[in-house]
Structure 1
Amino acid sequence: MAIVRFSPWREIDSLQKEMNRLFETFSDEEKVVKFTPAAEMQETEDTIELKLEVPGLEAKDLDVQVTAEAVAIKGERRQESKTEANGMTRSEFRYGSFQRVISLPVRVQNEQVKADYKDGILHLHLPKAEAEKNKVVKVSID
């Protein structure tokens, strides 16, 4: 059986280094987790249907831009919650802007996009470009 020398100072030093590394990660503004809206895309014969989950916002808080190949959505989230219980008030605020760019699987007619916003869900109806709808590929047989 081997004898192992216990050094509590080495363990404390190792723990301190790990804690410093952890706090450096949280203090770095570039690594802070930001809100990113969840998205769901469905392709039909004539359109791309895109849904984005942006709860707690109003339609006027959203900036949606569509090109033939992508959709960009920007917004700013301002959320406040306040609860009162047992004579105490607890208030929390969450603010922050977000941006998400979603590439589309086919080209769309971006000047004919229709959008509606209800119950925190932004629904975009993106009609496919005519060339994409009528796309026929000749297959050569060997």
Structure 2
Amino acid sequence: MPLTLWKPFRDIQRWEPLQEIESLQREMNRLFERMMPSGGNGGAAGMTFMPSAEMEETEEALHLKLEIPGMEAKDLDVQVTEDAVSISGERKTETKTEKKGVMRSEFHYGKFERVIPLPTHIQTDKVQAEYKNGVLSLTLPKSEEDKRKVVKVNVG
């Protein structure tokens, strides 16, 4: 029986480098839109960064943490409704005068705002906040009706 070296290529997929480059470009554009100001007209386009957030839900409350380094608590505006949290502020530029040398900065200065929808209603009058080491921690107690909510499901 003769030895056959050729086998059909059933698992080969066509590689389309331009499509991959376009996909990468879209992802990079989304990243820069979130991180960089996109215009000089103020408003949402003038935002310089969006604080990272982390949320944990327990039976009694929601625990929300936001990274907002380099600011003081008095410079933060935190507003809470029963179904969303809004955090805004402004990190002001430090004015330094240097006579020699080149200065390069990767710090973000300017306004920011983040609105976080909540998965359950909360008691706005019992919210607790702490700002320590650049992390804003909010404890958002759930409303009594959402704590007790039980839904009967009929199985057909």
Could you say which residue in structure 2 is the equivalent of 1:67? 81
Q: Distance in 2 between matches of 1:106 and 1:135?
A: 11
Q: Deviations over 1:77-128 (max 9, x none)?
A: 124387x8xx646375753111110000000001100000100000000000
| CA distance 1:42–1:35, change in 2 (3 Å) | same
1:90 aligned counterpart, secondary structure: coil
Alignment of 1:15-54 (within 5 A): 28-29=39-40, 34-54=48-68
Q: What SS does the aligned partner of 2:109 have?
A: strand
2:103 equivalent in structure 1: 90
Q: CA separation in 2, counterparts of 1:27 and 1:73?
A: 20
Contact 1:68 1:108 in 2 (8 A): yes
- 8 Å CA contact 1:59–1:117 kept in 2: the answer is yes
Q: Could you tell me whether the CA contact under 8 Å between 1:66 and 1:72 is conserved in 2? A: yes
* Pairing partner for 1:106 from 98, 104, 120: 120
Closer, same or farther in 2 for the Cα pair 1:135/1:94, shift >3 Å? Answer: closer
Matched residues in 2 for 1:32 and 1:56: separation?
Answer: 19
1:130 corresponds to which residue? 144
Farther off after superposition, 48-57 or 88-97: 88-97
> Using the alignment, how far apart are the partners of 1:133 and 1:27 within structure 2?
42
- Residues 13-42 of structure 1 deviation map (CA, whole Å, 9 limit, x = unaligned): xxxxxxxxxxxxx87436566211111111
Structure 1: which 5+ residue stretches go unaligned? Answer: 1-25
Cα distance in 2 for partners of 1:27, 1:139 equals 48
Partner of 2:27: none
Are 1:48 and 1:127, in contact at CA under 8 Å, matched by a contact in 2? yes
Distance 2:120 2:108 in 1: 36
8 A contact 2:48–2:108 mirrored in 1: no
From the superposition, tell whether residues 81 and 44 of structure 1 become closer, same or farther in structure 2 (CA, over 3 Å): farther
Q: TM-score, normalised by structure 1?
A: 0.70
Q: Secondary structure at the match of 2:92?
A: strand
**Structure 2 residue runs without a partner (length 5+):** 1-36
